[in-house]
Amino acid sequence: MGHRTQITLTDAQYASLKVQSQRTGATLAELVRRAVSLMYGPDDGLDEEALDDSFGAWHDRDFDGAAYVEELRPGLGRRLGL
């Protein structure tokens, strides 16, 4: 369900939106929705859904996770007592 609202923009904000709208073809409303999502976060559950979707992405790779981390951060395991 969508909700409508009225907002007051400064001349500079409106001009920026108009330029972006002409450049991208997106409506002013769509640009505002995107800005709100970027600033205040995506819909609830989308982060968890993305994590679930990525599970098993490296299932076809054969490697030792500890060795991989050691290669990236030499000595980290020792410093952490692993």
Q: What pLDDT is stored for residue 40 in this prediction?
A: 86
pTM: 0.50
Contact 20, 30 (CB under 8 A): no
Structure tokens given for 2: 């969508």
What digits encode the pLDDT tens for the residues 30-69?
Answer: 999 999 988 887 666 777 888 888 888 888 888 888 888 8
Answer yes or no: do 32 and 56 share one domain.
Answer: no
Answer yes or no: do 7 and 33 share one domain.
Answer: yes
What is the average pLDDT score of the chain?
87
Contact 53, 61 (CB under 8 A): no
CA angle 5, 44, 30 (to 5 degrees): 40
Q: How large is the average pLDDT for residues 1-6?
A: 88
Residue range(s) defining the domain that contains residue 66? 44-82
> What ranges in 1-82 are assigned the alpha helix state H?
11-24, 28-40, 46-54, 65-72, 76-79
pLDDT > 70? residue 22 = yes
User: Tokens 């098993």 sit at which residue?
Assistant: 56
Based on the structure, what is the number of domains in the chain? 2
